[in-house]
């Protein structure tokens, strides 16, 4: 098994290639208990935690870090600007810092390029974050990015990036950006390998991070993945995570189980032919975030998203 490498961001920071995704669903009770399995992950060796304002687990992340006894400087923490906070970035970052009890975040991402609003323009979010009232034309993500650059300059975050951006939206962002995004976090797994986006990001010095990196049960049970895992005496998750790292991509799998958390930090050593076979599984198929019957994904068409 291979150790977890660090990926160097264009900010100069080092980010562990495997992190822990910290979405706890829409039940408040589950969010309140998330600190237990986050602390378990830290004790298993995780040093990269991926949360978001919309997940409502920032408080749990801070609690777990303090309970672990691990120095804050040794843990890379990512959080994300909620899509209904695009017009109030300053208020949003302060709220995230207050909830977590942290002095800074290592990475701050714009969670979505589109801006949304909840009932009465509420700063808070319904338990289901997809229950937005409307999609707004303003502010544009270029304007939001300018405010995020101010947060970066203040020292409260060490790097800034985006999430759910495409080549199209990154190109639009770079027309006005003074800071190139350090990271673009997107859905990426063996059925959605996003080769063009990965290569474009490398050219621009942007690290790609994969969410839903194993593709959930559907891909974990794929015959090709099962065969490669059997050859290496590894789990299918260990194979897929190793494939991400071999491509220079970070991944943030979620696991609340201590045994699986430890397994996910032990990557199979794949052969070039293994990597190619996994690449060949690509179907351009989205599993986590995909258009509904109206042809839109959270209010935007694939054309608007550049997907």
Active-site choice (55, 108, 118, 211): 55
Known binding residues are: 111
The dihedrals phi and psi of 303, each to the nearest 5 degrees, come to -65, -45
The answer to whether the beta carbons of residues 268 and 45 sit under 8 Å apart is no
User: How deeply is 284 buried, as exposed, middle or buried, from its count of CB atoms within 10 A (0-12, 13-18, 19+)?
Assistant: exposed
Q: Is the four-CA dihedral 92, 94, 96, 99 of positive or negative sign? A: negative
Structure tokens at 216: 């959930």
Angle, CA 251 vertex, CA 248 and CA 252 arms, to 5°? 160
The answer to whether the beta carbons of residues 78 and 51 sit under 8 Å apart is yes
Secondary-structure percent of the chain, ordered helix, strand, coil, rounded to 5: 40, 20, 40
Three-state SS string over 32-57 comes to HHHHHHHHHHHHHCCCEEECCHHHCC
**C-alpha span between 162 and 186 (Å, rounded):** 9
Active site residue 55: yes
Known binding residues for substrate are: 111
Q: What's the N-to-C CA distance of the chain in angstroms?
A: 35
- What residues form DSSP beta bridges with 3? none
**C-alpha span between 41 and 173 (Å, rounded):** 35
- Closest alpha carbon to 179 in 158, 209, 164, 202: 158
Task: Just list the catalytic residues.
Answer: 55
């Amino acid at each position: 098994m291979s150790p977890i490498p660090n990926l160097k961001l264009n900010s100069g920071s080092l980010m562990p290639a495997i992190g822990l995704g910290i979405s706890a669903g829409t039940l408040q009770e589950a969010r309140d208990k998330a600190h237990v399995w986050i602390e378990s992950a830290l004790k298993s060796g995780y040093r990269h935690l991926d949360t978001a304002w919309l997940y409502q687990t920032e408080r749990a992340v801070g609690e777990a870090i303090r309970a672990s006894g691990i120095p804050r400087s040794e843990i890379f923490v990512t959080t994300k600007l909620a899509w209904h906070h695009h017009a109030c970035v300053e208020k949003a970052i302060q709220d995230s810092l207050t909830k977590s009890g942290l002095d800074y975040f290592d990475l701050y991402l714009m969670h979505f390029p589109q801006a949304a609003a909840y009932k009465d323009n509420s700063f808070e979010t319904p338990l289901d974050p997809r229950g937005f009232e409307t999609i707004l034309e303003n502010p544009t993500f270029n304007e939001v990015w300018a405010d995020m650059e101010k947060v970066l300059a203040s020292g409260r975050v060490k790097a800034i990036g985006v999430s759910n951006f495409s080549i199209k939206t990154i190109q639009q962002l770079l027309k006005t950006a003074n800071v190139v995004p350090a990271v673009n976090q997107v859905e990426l797994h063996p059925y959605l390998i996003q080769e063009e986006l990965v290569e474009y990001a490398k050219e621009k010095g942007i690290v790609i991070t994969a969410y839903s990196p194993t593709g959930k049960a559907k891909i974990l049970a794929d015959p090709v993945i099962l065969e490669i895992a059997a050859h290496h005496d590894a789990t299918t998750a260990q194979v897929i995570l190793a494939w991400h790292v071999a491509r220079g991509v970070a991944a943030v799998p979620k696991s609340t189980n201590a045994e699986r958390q430890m397994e996910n930090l032990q990557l199979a050593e794949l052969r070039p032919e293994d990597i190619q076979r996994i690449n060949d599984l690509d179907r351009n198929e989205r599993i986590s975030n995909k258009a509904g019957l109206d042809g839109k994904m959270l209010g935007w068409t694939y054309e608007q998203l550049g997907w």
